[in-house]
Structure 1
Amino acid sequence: MGQMSLEIGYTRPKGQVFKWLGSKFKFAYTITAYFPEQYNRYIEPFIGAGAMLATVAPEEGIAGDALAPLIEAWKILQEDPEHLIEHYTTHFHEFVEAPKETYARILSRYNETPNGPDLLVLTRTCYGGVVRFTKEGKMSTPSGMHKPMSIKTFRAVVHEWRERLKGTTFYHQSFEETMAMAKEGDLVYCDPPYIASQRILYGAQSFQFQRLLEVIESCKSRGVKVVLSIDGKKKSGKQKIALEVPDGLFEREHFVSCGASMLRRFQKSGEKMKGEDVHDRLLLTW
């Protein structure tokens, strides 16, 4: 198994397949700057919108998530990208004619029969990419006001991402199962639901941060390097989020400026966002 090298550096894709609150698309350069220069496989147990994965574009990668339709969509992108493009194209034209009605119909259909292509369309047309679910697992985000990505751009993005993800295998499974696959020399990047700010988002209701820390400790003991993105600072750096983390688990801590919180924008219904900038915390086990 060969090791990946950062001699050339990473390049971010030109656009995103999913529009997703919490995506690291804008900050991928900053985060990857803290990655080790060499490692074996790249592993993500909370794949979400996949921005970090597409930026790394690993020769050998593993990506997992507990949301089945999400993994379905990623597998379709790899195996039959034209299916996703055709699905998006059909609904794009419907959105132009009747955006709210089209969104409501797709949302109802998805909640009745969850599936990957509909989830993708919903994330691109819902409010701010806020992928919000009820405790019963129903997506509940209202429609957005923006115009969806053009068909031409979406097609180009899908094909670029297919090329970038060709070395990755996707799994519908828990983060524990994905991280258990990591071996000595691998790199794991964790971007779980945030403790203080993402309780309304998918999977957050059942997520246990302390359990994740236990699994990270197990990875570290096996010689796996782990990077964790988690709550850092809010209120433009004035308030640091307190985390209960075992002493010695992480060797380094850094903060990444993320600009104004889109989740707060959603919750405040368009009010002014002055003083609402957030900073993510990066924790590294080496």
Structure 2
Amino acid sequence: MAGTEDPGAPVRPLRAQLLKWVGNKQRFAHEIAAQLPALGDGTYFEPFLGSGAVLATLAPPRAVASDAFGPLVGIWQALAADPEALKGWYADRWQRCTEAPDRVTAYEEIKAAYNAAPNPADLLFLSRSCYGGVVRFRKADGHMSTPCGVHRPIPPAAFAARVDLWRERTAGAAFEHLDYRAALALAGAGDVVYCDPPYTHTQAILYGAQAFRLEELFAEVAAAKRRGARVALSIDGSKKSGDVLCDVPVPPGLFEREVLVNVGRSMLRRFQMPGQDLRGEGVVDRLLLTY
């Protein structure tokens, strides 16, 4: 498996999501993982963890997986330390919504509880039941604002099976609540880093994305490269099925090559244009590699 002690083994796709998250890489995480170098004795770092798709697909023996969003990290820490609690969080809220006379009202009550006191238990269920899996936050107050989805969230037994699978695939990871700069500062010679930051052209609604500065990330990537870490970075490529090229000023010489990854139709446009024709909303990402 790429990124482990056996670089000749194929990367195993992992189709079942644990979390739904805007911009998640689940469907093509195996394509990204296949581009990562063999880990050897190094450590894998993922400083923008999000849905953890690449981490779980790669299943590295040693990893530091982190995010600046505390409630999200709390979900991952529960997966590692107390998976039964994670199953219980989901089952309790799923039952409340299922048994309620009005599922939307029950969802809104859970969302209100989360917004009053952000916590991993509520966020877990909301991520799996919100409209289109687009977890969005208002800039004014940081509150989650996504309405209830039209789909039925998976039953607790199916979610519990995913918890067991994901715990196995992420067993080598330490989950940390860290700013990406602090996480990248830990990476050095022999380590492998995958960065999936908020995209400048499409993801301003992500938690904390309004304050994110891509040029600051490039500076941290350059520092990690000088220390001997090998860094892969997903970034805007094109949208509108190739009609719009995203102009992202990449510092010359920082990356050795790039790979284009077709990520399908825009998740955000599916949210913004329900029921409309999305054939012209194809998106291609750039995967930039320092090696």
Match of 2:155 in 1: 150
Following superposition, the deviation at residue 38 of structure 1 comes to: 3.9
Following superposition, the deviation at residue 7 of structure 1 comes to: 1.9
Match of 1:83 in 2: 85
The reply on whether 1:12 has 2:16 as its aligned counterpart is no
Provide the secondary structure at the position in 1 that maps to 2:76. helix
> d(CA) in 1 for partners of 2:30 and 2:87?
28
In the TM superposition, what are the counterparts of 1:135-284 in structure 2 within 5 Å?
135=139, 136-284=141-289
Distance change >3 Å, CA 87–CA 38, structure 1 → 2: closer
* AA at the equivalent of 1:151: P
Provide the secondary structure at the position in 2 that maps to 1:102. helix
Q: Is the 8 Å Cα contact of residues 70 and 119 (structure 1) preserved in structure 2? A: yes
> Normalising to structure 1: TM-score of the pair?
0.96
> d(CA) in 1 for partners of 2:38 and 2:78?
31
* AA at the equivalent of 2:205: I
> d(CA) in 2 for partners of 1:37 and 1:91?
41
Following superposition, the deviation at residue 283 of structure 1 comes to: 0.3
> d(CA) in 1 for partners of 2:247 and 2:177?
31
In the alignment, which of 102, 109, 115 is matched to residue 111 of structure 1?
115
> d(CA) in 2 for partners of 1:183 and 1:5?
21
In the alignment, which of 44, 47, 56 is matched to residue 45 of structure 1?
47
Match of 1:29 in 2: 30
The reply on whether 1:99 has 2:103 as its aligned counterpart is yes
> d(CA) in 2 for partners of 1:4 and 1:237?
37
Provide the secondary structure at the position in 1 that maps to 2:11. coil
* CA displacement 1:39-91 (0-9 Å, x = unmatched): 41110000001011111111100011110011111111111111111121122
Provide the secondary structure at the position in 1 that maps to 2:65. strand
Following superposition, the deviation at residue 94 of structure 1 comes to: 2.1
> d(CA) in 2 for partners of 1:12 and 1:157?
14
Following superposition, the deviation at residue 224 of structure 1 comes to: 0.5
> d(CA) in 2 for partners of 1:150 and 1:6?
37
* AA at the equivalent of 1:33: A
Moved more, 118-127 or 135-144: 135-144
> d(CA) in 2 for partners of 1:174 and 1:165?
20
> d(CA) in 1 for partners of 2:162 and 2:53?
12
Match of 2:130 in 1: 126
Following superposition, the deviation at residue 269 of structure 1 comes to: 3.5
Following superposition, the deviation at residue 4 of structure 1 comes to: 3.0
Provide the secondary structure at the position in 2 that maps to 1:205. helix
Distance change >3 Å, CA 38–CA 68, structure 1 → 2: closer
> d(CA) in 1 for partners of 2:5 and 2:130?
37
Show structure 2 runs of 5+ residues with no match: none
> d(CA) in 2 for partners of 1:225 and 1:168?
18
Following superposition, the deviation at residue 270 of structure 1 comes to: 3.0
> d(CA) in 1 for partners of 2:29 and 2:273?
27
Following superposition, the deviation at residue 230 of structure 1 comes to: 0.8
Following superposition, the deviation at residue 3 of structure 1 comes to: 6.1
* Structure 1 stretches of 4+ moved >6 Å: none
Q: How many residues align?
A: 285
* AA at the equivalent of 2:133: G
- What is the root-mean-square deviation of aligned Cα atoms in Å? 1.4
* CA displacement 1:5-46 (0-9 Å, x = unmatched): 322222233411111121111001111121113441110000
